[in-house]
Amino acid sequence: MSSERESTQAVKTQSRQWRGVLREYADRLNITDATPIITLGEGGTPLIPAPALSKRTGAKVWIKYEGMNPTGSFKDRGMTMAISKAVEDGAKAVICASTGNTSASAAAYATHAGILAVVLVPEGKIALGKLSQAIAHNAQLLQVQGNFDDCLDIARDLSANYPVHLVNSVNPDRIEGQKTAAFEVVEVLEDAPDIHIVPVGNAGNYTAYTRGYTEELERGATTKLPRMFGFQAAGSAPIVLGHRVDHPETIASAIRIGNPASWDLALAAQKLTNGYFGAISDAKILEAYRILSAEVGIFVEPASAISVAGLLERAEAGLIPAGATVVLTVTGHGLKDPQWALRTADGAEITPTVVPVDTAEIASVLGLVKK
């Protein structure tokens, strides 16, 4: 009797539970009945109105909060697809180069599938939260004495010559899974936005959103393509500069990339959507990081805040039409790299005040007057 009730409850829960992007969008992805579905329930992330940003810019601003994915970044959408297809192909090990989030995601999905993840990260250059995730999920993590671009070159070499399956976004399955974020935006807005803004590292996500929106337009779910705006950190802005950057630098470690893997695809996407690529200084990234956490209530890692910084920069330049619907993707959770929250705008450390166990004393520190 009780087990019957339990199983009914399980079915009920199941029917209300988001099933991950492969099951939710099975008819719009390149999968078949033979594809094993390796999922941790990714996707279905909130699209949140941001009145504070709307007020600052005169646009209708929404935030697609991708930090709400199972490993805390948008990478999970592409990783469920890439790992599922790798397992379908009989892979026993996958490999990726990463600035942190891809490695956390690959590690989680590979271990869930019962296969090995090998991850190559630039030594000392990835956030502690992300490093911890990959290790917690049992990846074989190697810190390479080079930058991300070196790691990707080696991951490509290894996958071409050894039995390890590449799951970086040069693997088309990644982009395919990531396009589902555009589907979710359209479901909420009932059309495409006028402008969609993303951070750019390898430019895989910029490419993926463009593909998702293109498919929505083709099937008649929307009336237009959004203009795709992508932002790179000023010290790491190869697409904006039009040439490879050999020694990329930025505090936004997730997008410290000098030779984007999806560069050509991104330029095609820019052309198709009448899009734009811009560069943002680290100081402006950190300013936007604080605005988003303190005024909107959304905590992201610095790379994600570049979407906000890009919006503010374009709005200040008078290039965001009044009343336009603008969606900003914020790609990774703030808890992955929280150290930046504990500094003021001019870099001083923030140390919370310590108080004794004394109500009157605490009231006085808070400036409260007794009622």
The site string for ligand F0G over 225-254 (x = CB under 6 A, - otherwise) reads -----------------------------x
Report if residue 129 touches ligand F0G, rule: CB under 6 A.
no
Taking CB under 6 A as the rule, does residue 122 contact ligand F0G?
A: no
Residue 201 marked as a ligand binder: yes
Asked if 204 is part of the footprint of ligand F0G (rule: CB under 6 A), the reply reads: yes
One of 201, 258, 278, 334 touching ligand F0G (CB under 6 A): 201
CB-nearer residue toward ligand F0G: 110 or 303: 303
CB of 250 to ligand F0G, least distance (A): 12
Distance CA 231, CA 225 (A): 19
Q: How far is the CB of 304 from ligand F0G (least distance, A)?
A: 5
| 159 in Cβ contact with 117 (< 8 Å) | no
User: Among residues 304, 309, 312, 325, which is the contact residue for ligand F0G, using CB under 6 A?
Assistant: 304
Q: Is 102 in the site for ligand F0G (CB under 6 A)?
A: yes
Which of 20, 43, 70, 100 lies at the binding interface for ligand F0G (CB under 6 A)? 100
* Residue 203 known to bind ligand: yes
Mark the segment that binds ligand F0G (CB under 6 A) among 3-11, 196-204, 287-295, 315-323: 196-204
The phi-psi region of residue 190 (left if phi > 0; otherwise alpha if psi is between -120 and 50; otherwise beta) is: left
Instruction: Select from 101, 133, 250, 259 the one that contacts ligand F0G (CB under 6 A).
Output: 101
CB of 104 to ligand F0G, least distance (A): 8
Min dist. Cβ of residue 37 to ligand F0G (A) = 23
Contact criterion met (CB below 8 Å) for 137 and 117: yes
Of residues 60 and 332, the one with the C-beta less far from ligand F0G = 332
Based on the shown chain and the rule CB under 6 A, indicate whether residue 70 belongs to the binding site for ligand F0G: no
98 touching ligand F0G, by CB under 6 A: yes
**Residue 212 within binding range of ligand F0G, rule CB under 6 A:** no
Least separation, in Å, of the C-beta of 183 and ligand F0G?
17
Q: Which of residues 73-92 bind ligand F0G (CB under 6 A)?
A: 73, 75
Kindly state whether residue 180 participates in binding ligand F0G, applying the rule CB under 6 A.
no
Using rule CB under 6 A, residue 72 touches ligand F0G:
no
- Pairing relation of β-strands 47-49 and 60-65? antiparallel
Question: With binding defined as CB under 6 A, does residue 331 bind ligand F0G?
Answer: yes
In the bound state with ligand F0G, the residue whose beta carbon lies nearer, of 201 and 212, is 201
Residue 158 sits at the vertex; the CA angle it makes with 156 and 161, to the nearest 5 degrees, is 110
Q: Determine phi and psi for 34, rounding to 5 degrees.
A: -80, -10
Annotated ligand binding at 205? The verdict is yes
Of the CA atoms within 13 Å of residue 123, those in its CB half-sphere come to: 4
* By CB under 6 A, residue 332 contacts ligand F0G: yes
203: contact with ligand F0G by CB under 6 A: yes
Residue 169 in contact with ligand F0G, rule: CB under 6 A: yes
Which residue in this structure is represented by tokens 């140390």?
351
Contacts with ligand F0G, residue ranges (CB under 6 A): 73, 75, 98-102, 169, 199-206, 254-255, 301, 303-304, 331-332
Annotated binding site: 101, 201-205, 331
Annotated binding site for pyridoxal 5'-phosphate: 101, 201-205, 331
